[in-house]
Structure 1
Amino acid sequence: MKIDAHQHFWQYDPVRDAWINNQMAVIQRSFNPTDLKPLLSRNGIDGCVVVQSDQSEAENEFQLANAAQHSFIKGVVGWVDLQADNIGERLAYYSQFDKLKGFRHVLQGEPNRALMLTPNFRRGIAALELHNFTYDLLIFPDQLAYSRELVAAFPNQPFVLDHIAKPNIKAQQLDDWEQELRALAAHENVCCKVSGMVTEARWKQWQPHDFRPYLDIVFEAFGPERVLFGSDWPVCEVAGGYDAVVSLVQNYLAAFSAREKALFWGENALKFYRLEAATVPPLLK
């Protein structure tokens, strides 16, 4: 089974969604499951994980309703206030929804770059572990060191790094990002989504070779059993589109083994998000 482990739906609101500026006019509209299904089918992808784009519990209701109506939506990554005093109660409530797999906070936008290390936030992460929820790390490279400290404190909590931490691909910057990414990858409770890259490059002017140094580092650091495919649709539409993102990764993986490709395109996502009972055999040598 092939899985797109990172995409979004939203009912566009120009105030709430002010992050979608005029340079991103192509996505200044609503995007729904019926928009995505033809793209998945055309690319041979069987299902997806929808990730929050609004920091509210109303977002969870919206995405869970989508998932209930469309069987190809295999999982939801929602939002909850991890710093709330009643975080345990909220997570106990959300445990009743089989398709709600984990949560995310937009840490990349926080003025306090080390918010994830504050006592209240760490208390929320500890509660996730108790309720078997995953956590998506949405950060910029300057927060990689803080993320490393966080994941080290919770070795039994499954984390996944979104968008390879958004390095500056446009400027082909590697050094600090590479060092910190490798340090984060040393923690085996962390996976990495190969997603969101095209929007960090020169929009619609990028070439496949722009991404190879980054992909080489990610696959070497995390290994084939801890990397997941994500399209970041519809955000990717500003920089090339769904088909282009799939083609980019397919070309990079051309020399990989069939086993490694199966892990990347679906089995790792099935295992990380517990999308269905899946036994992943050891990597074939």
Structure 2
Amino acid sequence: MIIDSHQHFWIFDPARDTWMTDNSIRRNFLPADLAPVLEANGVNGCVAVQADQSEAETDFLLQLAAEDDFIKGVVGWVDLRSPNVTERLAHFSQYPLLKGVRHIVQGEPDKEFLLREDFGRGIAALKQFDLAYDILIYPHQLPAAVAFAKKFPEQRFVVDHLAKPDFETGELKGWEQHIRALGAMPHVHCKLSGMVTEADLQNWQQEDFIPFLNVALEAFGPGRLMFGSDWPVCLMAASYPQVKQIVTDYIATLSAAEQAQIMGGNAAAFYKLI
């Protein structure tokens, strides 16, 4: 089974979605748009990940997942800094399709946001509800992410988009050190996703990603990596087949079992989709 571990849906709102500066994604993207794309690419299901920091976004994604069974799980948003975070998590735990939560930490000016005491209390509450947490950061936030992951050794974490290294320049220094530190912790996983939009949008080549993929594979091994398309954000730079091919070509020399893990088995186990 092939599972896309990372994609988004939205009803475009120009007042809210100011980060969408590329015309290719400034429109609605809903399950009816993705279903034929997944079918054409042999993908059996997906995980819908929040793109807006509101409980309304979580409700929206859960409703879509309830209506379309190819959406196998949802990574929503709850204010993990809130004093009543446990109450809000309890509310959403009534929906079995909620598999995890995410905060857009990459947008926080504090490079040590992950280490905030109030945020940490929210993270500590996730285990009670058996929810995963997606780490969305930029490379300058990686040192805090390493310390963060060490603080919560029993929490399931996954790093989105390889922590967005600079594929355009190919600079590995710094990023590699911290990715290897995260990979040394068995409760931390990593998504092979979001690469094309961190490269030269118009002129990227598959070879641009190989040094970074080599580090990720060595750091996490085939048992803790998962394919994700980042559709429809990826459309700014590549088609769905192109994004998928970057990963399938890279892992082609691995065993069939290892390829199956990366292309779906790991996501199913990590998010408890089955």
| TM-score past 0.5 threshold | yes
Report the number of matched residues.
Answer: 274
Asked if 1:199 is matched to 2:188, the reply is no
3-state SS of paired residue (2:48): strand
1:11-160 aligned within 5 A: 11-21=11-21, 24-160=22-158
Distance in structure 1 (CA, Å) of the matches to 2:101 and 2:255: 32
3-state SS of paired residue (2:19): coil
> Structure 1 counterpart of 2:16, which letter?
R
Distance in structure 1 (CA, Å) of the matches to 2:223 and 2:104: 26
3-state SS of paired residue (2:174): helix
> Hey, which bits of structure 1, 4+ residues long, moved more than 2 A?
none
Shift of 1:118: 1.0
Structure 2 residue ranges without an equivalent (≥5): none
Distance in structure 1 (CA, Å) of the matches to 2:80 and 2:248: 36
Cross-structure match for 1:3 = 3
Cross-structure match for 1:249 = 247
Distance in structure 1 (CA, Å) of the matches to 2:82 and 2:64: 26
Shift of 1:204: 2.8
Cross-structure match for 2:215 = 217
Q: C-alpha offsets along residues 191-250 of structure 1, whole Å, 9 cap, x if unaligned?
A: 000000000111131111111101111011000100000000000000012111011111
**RMSD, matched Cα:** 0.7
Distance in structure 1 (CA, Å) of the matches to 2:139 and 2:239: 24
Cross-structure match for 1:279 = none
Distance in structure 2 (CA, Å) of the matches to 1:14 and 1:238: 17
Distance in structure 2 (CA, Å) of the matches to 1:220 and 1:144: 18
Shift of 1:265: 0.6
Distance in structure 2 (CA, Å) of the matches to 1:142 and 1:3: 30
3-state SS of paired residue (1:175): coil
Shift of 1:254: 1.6
Distance in structure 1 (CA, Å) of the matches to 2:152 and 2:117: 13
3-state SS of paired residue (1:75): strand
> Structure 2 counterpart of 1:233, which letter?
W
Cross-structure match for 1:282 = none
Distance in structure 1 (CA, Å) of the matches to 2:69 and 2:123: 29
Cross-structure match for 1:189 = 187
3-state SS of paired residue (2:186): coil
3-state SS of paired residue (1:211): helix
Q: TM-score normalized by structure 2? A: 0.99
Distance in structure 1 (CA, Å) of the matches to 2:145 and 2:109: 15
> Structure 2 counterpart of 1:143, which letter?
Q
Distance in structure 2 (CA, Å) of the matches to 1:247 and 1:121: 37
Q: TM-score normalized by structure 1? A: 0.95
3-state SS of paired residue (1:163): helix
Aligned residues with identical type, % of pairs:
53
3-state SS of paired residue (2:244): helix
Cross-structure match for 2:173 = 175
Distance in structure 1 (CA, Å) of the matches to 2:154 and 2:99: 16
